Structure 1
């Protein structure tokens, strides 16, 4: 997908609990860090709600959240300040496509960001270089780009009605496989734990899958279209989603595959 779409913080946070769960599952596999207190960077911190969880795990750490969205950074500022264990939490602007660490980092973590950065694995060498021996680069990315939610989005974009405006806007393969990431990072001197998980989210309300993707994957389309056209597009796309993800007696089941990587730099 394209990089740096606009972000609607309220829309994104409507499914905050579901979106945060993979971050916690990722952190559970990180283990010890080489320095105490640790220096931690959250690349693509968003609204800061999951960055704050880093201070719970490492309360004495110096933690910085980085993001390229001014709206997200404004929301994140409510979490900034000293932490209970004597550490600190702050936020700053950075574009992951060009950002290079200017100091040593014990943990570089990224949650659902790298799919927005074309060729992001080319950045890994610079990021791993900033880790000391035992330092960790941990990230998760969506792996659901072949799922109906994304295939149907691309299908509508490629239709006769929308192709003149939207053809080529969305990429079908913005992330690597778990094995692809393992090979890349092993080649940079890391011991790598890579895996995938499919979450079965139970969503509530009318058109809940459309509501979900309005906060993430649909953002480039909404950015490209005016208000009236966006309403027309989402009506067409939403009807297809209702067929692909029918509501059940307890809500709408939305399977969501995610890819996880924890790479520890070897001595």
Structure 2
């Protein structure tokens, strides 16, 4: 699959709405004074910077495979907060980490559930793994995107683009319990109230539709965008108070259960 570039300015158009799941996720992490924290898929870094406010004594590293995102994120570097370019699929900590966070990133990693054992191995005893992924891939925004991309006019360019995907909370719970975690898993559907023209298109063009749009050459891209916008505006009709975008997200916060100390009384 061909990776598409990220554009921080486009992504940050709806920064307030995109930040709320991060806050809801990290608020359930019970680590009090972690030494090492990693944010996998940190994006433009403004949310990672809030972790430095919460844990000022920790070494915090934001990791992303996008040069554009990390270039933007480095404006927040200071003290124990730093950023680096790396692919989540290949990332490994040099020493055990107390908290691993991943906010709306794992859905871009094919077969990302297979990474969970390695992430578990990278945690210190009693360490925390917290991640959030979209659970809305069956909604009109994505269904219409797939239908448009399958049109013969566009399909030849869209055949090998990245396709995000994720599982439900019960699946991740089972995975992590099996790995020896105490797990809190849930889902939430946010009702984002978006303003402005073609609001849902502007939202998804910075995330889910990004690979398809970048794969299309002009003038096909303009033709695709025009038709996709029309379909989105029918599926999510603008109201006098704005456009409502229902957005389901899946959350997992898990703490690694430290192995009990060996019983030496019988030795």
- Does the 8 Å contact 1:101/1:127 carry over to 2? no
Distance 2:197 2:220 in 1: 21
Q: Secondary structure at the match of 1:153?
A: helix
SS of residue paired to 1:47: coil
Normalising by the residue count of structure 2, what TM-score does the alignment of the two structures yield? 0.93
- 1:54 matched to 2:51: yes
Q: How many residues of Structure 1 are paired with residues of Structure 2 in the alignment? A: 258
Whether the 8 Å CA contact 2:61–2:81 is kept in 1: the answer is yes
* Distance in 1 of aligned mates of 2:60 and 2:246: 32
In structure 2, the residue matched to 1:91 is 83
After superposition, the Cα gap between the structure-2 partners of 1:113 and 1:4, relative to the gap in structure 1 and judged at 3 Å, is farther
Q: Which residue of structure 2 lines up, in the alignment, with residue 109 of structure 1?
A: 101
Bigger radius of gyration:
2
Please list the CA deviations of residues 84-134 of structure 1 after superposition, one character each: whole Å capped at 9, or x if unmatched. Answer: xxxx10001110122122211000000100010001111111111111221
Secondary structure of 2:126's counterpart equals coil
What is the alpha-carbon distance in structure 1 between the residues aligned to residue 252 and residue 107 of structure 2? 14
Q: Verify the 8 A CA contact 1:3 1:118 in the aligned structure 2.
A: no
TM-align CA RMSD:
1.4
- Output the CA distance in 2 between the equivalents of 1:5 and 1:158: 18
The match for 1:243 is: 234
Name the CA distance, whole Å, in 2 between partners of 1:24 and 1:235: 35
Tell me whether 1:145 sits opposite 2:142 in the alignment.
no
In structure 1, what is the equivalent of residue 19 of structure 2?
20
Return 5+ residue gaps in structure 2 as ranges. 259-267
What 5-or-longer segments of structure 1 have no aligned partner? 83-87
For the residues of structure 2 that align with 1:101 and 1:200, how far apart are their CA atoms?
37
SS at match of 1:14: helix
Q: How far apart are the structure 2 equivalents of 1:166 and 1:114?
A: 21
Secondary structure of 2:125's counterpart equals: coil
Instruction: With the length of structure 1 as denominator, give the TM-score of the two structures.
Output: 0.93
Q: Choose the corresponding residue for 1:67, options 64, 79, 82.
A: 64
